[in-house]
A and B are shown apart, each in its own frame.
Chain A
Amino acid sequence: MTAPADVFAAVQSQFPAVTARPTLDHPSINVPVGDVVAVLTHLRDVQSMDFLVDVTAVDWGVEATPRFSVVWHLLSTTKNNYVRVVAACGSDTEPVAPTISHLWAGANWHERETFDLLGVRFEGHPDLRRILMWDGYPHHPLRKDFPLAGIDTPLPDLEVGELTKATAAPAPMMGGPFVASVGEMNMTDAEPSAKDESWSERSNKPATL
């Protein structure tokens, strides 16, 4: 089994821009978004990380810069070790990352899902459609500015929507789940309440919903 430092050292000797990323388990590396395909190809062909476990992204919050990071998990089926590759996307409004669906066929759906739920566009993807939400859905639900309750949107079938006047309406989680806020000075604010504050007992439905 390769020790964590070895994978990192081997990658860094080839790609000096790669840095180690703090992690609680597997070796984890930060890669500039432009080097992603080269680094992942290197990991696959030289380091025998032959299995793409997962592709996902993290939204670090509306104010954060860079706001979006794409995360790849690789696994070696021969050496039984994992590595996590993280790349921060350049743009905070229109995040873009390169596709790796030509390296692993399984990346196709993972990238579609990441695009669908977080709005990260994968450049060069052969068929970047939504996969879990319906075609034509206007939002990216896993973004931090999307409320848990949801946003009022037209039904997937516009004809049915027109006939019934129904919409995909938000459903606030009134009554739970309750989570206490940690470290607040005000006892009232610290009390257990629904975590999603955009629409709860204490704050009215925002006009944008």
Chain B
Amino acid sequence: MPTDYAFPDSAAKAAAATEAPEFQTEKMSLAMGPSHPSTHGVLRLSLELDGEMVTKCDPVLGYLHRGDEKIAENMTYNQFVPYTDRLDYLAPLANNAAYAIAVEKLANLTVPPRCQAIRVITSEMARISAHLLGLGAYGIDVGAWSVFLYTFTEREKLYKLFEELTGARFTTSYSRIGGLARDVPEGWNANVDAFCDQFLPILEEILKLLTRNKIFMDRTIGVGVISKEDAISYGLTGPNLRGSGVDFDLRKAKPYSGYEQHDFDIPVGSKGDCYDRYLCRGEEMRQSVRIIKQAIKTFPGGDWYAKDAVRIFAPRKDKVLTSMEELINNFMIVTEGPQMPAGEVYFEAENPKGALGFFIVSKGGGVPYRMKIRGPSFCNLSILPKVCQGNLVSDVVSILGSLDFVMGECDR
């Protein structure tokens, strides 16, 4: 048996040891995806198999490539907000906030505390929603059906809150450069607080379905181990990086939007296997609830958009219809876009899947000259060829689910 690859899985190791040379067959190539249920979207894995063992894994991307970066070069900063919904389409509110903060950094604009608090609350709600979907889908991948039903019941409640806030359940487009689309409606914070209170016991119930589940543990513990060094070398971010034992979270390391005022912990794994990544996500949801409750408790009054940024944030509608100056301003911002200085900025935010980054090159005016989007899922998937090699095909399903990627931001 040519052993130019390692077998981390014990069953695979045993099979390799007992296999007599005369039973060795030709390697088989298998296309997994782009419509395989465990590839969560349109990822295709071109696998080379020796029996049940993966000897080579070549991910094929691009099925969802829409050219978002090219599109961004052809429209104003505000016109691009709806496109950010469709990056990580499981957490559009977090994408909206990350993009707005990146452009505000270019404009050297600080938004008022109320706006920051709303962005923190919505980002953390998006995190819970994204992790719930990831968890439910992961459960199905490894054979635990009921988790999905529980998590989707909770997501439905979150979607109802998103709808109350933004008018849309899914594609929220909530941020504007220098503020938000609108202030929080009356009583919304109380609704979110009530959701958090009832969610915590249900979260424990959901996690209880998996954490000590014998089948789940067998399928995840010791599978898809990513070392600390590999995690950094491959540019993994988010729970995948922390699952490997790297204590790095942009909310702590480079606080933005007022995260430094909140008290929360960063869960870190020890082994870097699929189970650790699952545990990190579970704990992150508990921490998100903590952050939301703090942000609601200290919810600031005052403005919810940068009032002094008259060339960036479009004036209120009632003013536009009654005052000449506001009317002109509104027209300029809508047609020419928010006016930005020339320069280069890079900003990344800790999104549910990892660090979502925007590198903006501006030559002034209302349209970016170049915008590069760093999709965390793209970097997280780049480790697949390494981590899948030597595993069984069924473990590939387990690894894919634990990496919790979304093709919208991977292919952009």
Contacts and interface: CB of A to CB of B under 8 A. Distances in A.
Interface of A: 21-26, 28, 50-54, 56, 58-59, 71, 73, 77, 80, 82, 84, 104-106, 108-110, 113, 117, 130-134, 141-142, 146, 148, 173, 177-180, 182, 192, 194-196
A54 B357 CA distance: 9
Contact of B74 (A26, A141, A173): A173
Contact of A25 (B105, B367, B383, B386): B105
A54 B359 contact: yes
Given A182-B336, A182-B365, A71 B359 contact: yes
Interface residues of B, number: 54
B216 interface: no
B344 interface: yes
Contacts of A77: 232, 246, 248, 253
Q: Which of A52, A54, A142, A194 counts the most chain B CB atoms within 10 A? A: A54
A195 B80 CA distance: 13
A105 B69 contact: no
B71 A148 contact: yes
Interface of B: 61-62, 65, 67, 69-71, 73-76, 79, 105-106, 108, 230, 232-236, 246, 248, 253-254, 335-337, 341, 343-348, 355, 357, 359, 361, 365-367, 369-370, 372, 374, 378-379, 381-383, 386, 411-412
Nearest to A79: B253
23 contacts: A24-B105, A24-B344, A53-B346, A53-B374, A54-B359, A54-B374, A73-B374, A80-B253, A84-B346, A105-B230, A105-B383, A106-B234, A106-B235, A106-B379, A109-B381, A132-B62, A141-B67, A148-B74, A179-B76, A179-B336, A179-B337, A195-B73, A196-B74
Given A24-B105, A142-B69, A84 B335 contact: no
Contacts of A84: 344, 346
A50 B336 CA distance: 40
Contacts of B230: 105
Nearest to B361: A58
B348 A108 contact: no
Contacts, number: 127
B237 to A, nearest CB: 9
A111 to B, nearest CB: 11
Given A142-B69, A179-B335, 4 more contacts: A54-B374, A77-B246, A109-B382, A179-B336
Nearest to B336: A180
Nearest to A194: B74
Instruction: Give the interface SS of chain B, mostly helix, strand, loop or mixed.
Output: mixed
Given A77-B246, A177-B75, A53 B357 contact: yes
Contacts of A109: 378-379, 381-382
B343 A23 contact: yes
Contacts of A194: 74
Given A25-B345, A182-B365, A196-B74, A106 B382 contact: yes
A53 B232 contact: no
Top 7 A-B pairs, shortest CB-CB distance: A106-B235, A180-B335, A177-B75, A24-B343, A132-B62, A195-B74, A109-B382
Nearest to A82: B346
A133 B62 contact: yes
Nearest to A178: B335
Contacts of A180: 335-336
A117 B69 contact: yes
Nearest to A103: B233
A110 B378 CA distance: 9
Contacts of A24: 105-106, 108, 341, 343-345
A134 B75 CA distance: 26
Contacts of B369: 58
Q: Which one of B108, B248, B366 has the highest number of Cβ atoms from chain A below 10 Å of its Cβ?
A: B248
B15 to A, nearest CB: 28
B378 A195 contact: no
B233 A105 contact: yes
B29 to A, nearest CB: 16
A21 to B, nearest CB: 8
A134 B235 CA distance: 24
A131 B64 CA distance: 12
Contacts of B67: 141
Contacts of B382: 105-106, 108-109
A63 to B, nearest CB: 14
